[in-house]
């Protein structure tokens, strides 16, 4: 409803991204996180959310870029830091095989 009235409301896209991710609708989550970032490129939470969704699809290198961006924008973002560390660890494990 909110997006019909305010299609440029980045927070609504972010919230829909979170909801879709929680429901396992990862492609839809990515669409909404990406839309939030088109509206507001310096939105650290949306970068982190997009990173999580990309990581769920196994797109770890792309996820790492978004986690790093979230941390550049908000250095004290503990979730982005933990997600970045985890993604880097996973990349290291997949390259060792």
pLDDT in tens, 31-68: 999 999 999 999 999 999 999 999 999 999 999 999 99
3: which residues sit within 8 A by CB, 6+ positions away? 9, 12, 13, 16
- Mean per-residue pLDDT of the chain: 91
pTM reported for the whole predicted model? 0.88
Q: How confident is the model at residue 93 (pLDDT cuts 50, 70, 90)?
A: confident
| Residue indicated by tokens 């961006």 | 69
Q: Using CA atoms, how far apart are residues 45 and 22, in angstroms rounded to an integer?
A: 15
Q: How confident is the model at residue 87 (pLDDT cuts 50, 70, 90)?
A: very high
Burial class of 89 by CB neighbour count within 10 A (0 to 12, 13 to 18, 19+):
exposed
Share of the chain above pLDDT 70, in %: 88
Q: How confident is the model at residue 97 (pLDDT cuts 50, 70, 90)?
A: low
Give the structural domain span for 79: 2-95
> For the chain, how many structural domains are there in total?
1
Which is nearest to 71 in space by CA: 96, 50, 45, 35?
45
For residue 12, the domain's CATH number is 1.25.40.10
């Amino acid at each position: 409803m909110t997006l019909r009235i305010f299609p440029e409301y980045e927070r609504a896209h972010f919230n829909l991204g979170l909801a879709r991710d929680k429901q396992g609708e990862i492609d839809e989550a990515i669409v909404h996180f990406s839309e939030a970032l088109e509206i507001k490129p310096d939105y650290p939470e949306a970068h982190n959310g997009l990173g999580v969704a990309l990581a769920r699809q196994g797109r770890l290198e792309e996820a790492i870029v978004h986690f790093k961006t979230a941390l550049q924008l908000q250095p004290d973002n503990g979730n982005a830091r933990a997600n970045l560390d985890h993604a880097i660890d996973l990349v290291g494990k997949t390259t060792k095989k």
